[in-house]
């Protein structure tokens, strides 16, 4: 018997705040949801709240992640309380993996365990470890930004993956910060459970230039035969 195996349940995420791209690409079942951050929201010139409303309306079986703003614990906590009120329970919260962020994650996990938490701006195995200890659902290692700092992101992802295994931590790894296809491939091969990818890279993955060339020739031949 052939069983249908579409791979890991985690699928992949879109890294964008562009609603048109989100609507277009969400037709694919293998897109599990969307990750946003203040920079991505700034690009689309929208207020965070109106964007949250728009995307939540589009999604029923997909997941949106919104980043908690602020640097001090107080600022982050205030923004978290705000997001609790204005987002649906299924919307996930991205929290920076800093001392204040880890304190907030602990509070969220203790008091609102129904909320999915993604610990973001991860540049080290140690941040990944602490995020795992505090009970994060996901962590987002920043692949391209690490490469820019001469840090090997794939070794970091590999080590976190192994550490979670030996420490029996259930936190999952969502590779983030990508600028090309090779970074995505290497991140997944290093043990990331999933990746969050800008639409432009997803499109380049789907529209391989050589495949397009081959298709053009097949199409020409098909038309010639019809004549
Ligand atoms: C997603 O969770 C991250 O915020 C995003 O991938 C960061 O990407 P950048 O490094 O291209 O800003």
* Confidence (pLDDT) at 115: 97
* Confidence (pLDDT) at 197: 98
Minimal-distance CA residue to ligand 1 atom 4:
37
What is the pTM assigned to this prediction? 0.94
Using CA atoms, how far apart are residues 177 and 73, in angstroms rounded to an integer? 25
* Confidence (pLDDT) at 226: 65
The verdict on the CB of residue 190 being under 6 Å from ligand 1 is no
Using CA atoms, how far apart are residues 12 and 194, in angstroms rounded to an integer? 6
Please, what's the largest Cα pairwise distance for the chain? 73
- Ligand 1 centroid – CA 177 distance (Å): 4
Tell me the pLDDT of the chain averaged across its residues. 94
Using CA atoms, how far apart are residues 109 and 11, in angstroms rounded to an integer? 24
Active site residues: 94
The verdict on the CB of residue 193 being under 6 Å from ligand 1 is no
Using CA atoms, how far apart are residues 17 and 195, in angstroms rounded to an integer? 16
Count how many Cα atoms sit within 13 Å of the Cα of residue 32 in the half-sphere of its side chain: 18
The verdict on the CB of residue 194 being under 6 Å from ligand 1 is no
Residue 145 Cα: closest atom of ligand 1: 10
- Residue where the block lists tokens 């048109």: 20
Domains by residue range for the chain, with CATH: 12-226 (3.20.20.70)
Q: Which helix (H) or strand (E) holds 139?
A: strand 138-141
* Confidence (pLDDT) at 61: 84
- Ligand 1 centroid – CA 220 distance (Å): 41
Using CA atoms, how far apart are residues 72 and 45, in angstroms rounded to an integer? 26
Using CA atoms, how far apart are residues 103 and 114, in angstroms rounded to an integer? 17
The verdict on the CB of residue 176 being under 6 Å from ligand 1 is yes
Distances (CA, A) of 2 to 9, 16, 29, 88, 114: 18, 36, 21, 38, 36
Residues of the chain where predicted confidence (pLDDT) is lower than 70: 1-10, 226-227
Using CA atoms, how far apart are residues 96 and 22, in angstroms rounded to an integer? 24
Residue 176 Cα: closest atom of ligand 1: 6
The verdict on the CB of residue 95 being under 6 Å from ligand 1 is no
The verdict on the CB of residue 15 being under 6 Å from ligand 1 is yes
Minimal-distance CA residue to ligand 1 atom 11:
177
As a whole-number percent, the residues of the chain with pLDDT over 90 amount to: 92
Burial 199-211 (b: 16+ CB within 10 A, else e): bebbeeeeeeeee
């Amino acid at each position: 018997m052939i069983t249908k195996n579409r791979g890991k349940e985690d699928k992949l995420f879109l890294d964008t705040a562009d609603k048109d791209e989100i609507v277009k690409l969400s037709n694919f079942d293998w897109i599990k949801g969307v990750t946003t951050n203040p920079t991505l929201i700034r690009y689309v010139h929208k207020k965070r709240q109106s964007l949250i409303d728009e995307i939540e309306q589009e999604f029923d079986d997909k997941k949106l992640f919104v980043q908690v703003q602020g640097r001090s614990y107080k600022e982050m906590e205030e923004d978290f309380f705000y997001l609790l009120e204005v987002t649906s329970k299924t919307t996930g919260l991205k929290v920076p993996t800093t001392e204040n962020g880890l304190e907030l994650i602990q509070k969220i996990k203790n008091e609102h365990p129904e909320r999915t938490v993604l610990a973001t701006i991860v540049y080290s195995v140690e941040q990944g470890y602490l995020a795992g200890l505090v009970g994060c659902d996901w962590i987002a290692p920043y692949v391209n930004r690490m490469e820019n700092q001469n840090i090997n992101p794939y070794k970091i992802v590999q080590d976190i993956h192994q550490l979670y295994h030996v420490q029996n931590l259930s936190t999952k790894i969502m590779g983030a910060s990508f600028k090309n296809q090779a970074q995505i491939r290497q991140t997944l091969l290093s043990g990331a459970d999933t990746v969050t990818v800008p639409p432009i890279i997803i499109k380049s993955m789907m529209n391989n230039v050589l495949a397009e060339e081959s298709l053009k020739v097949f199409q020409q031949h098909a038309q010639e035969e019809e004549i």
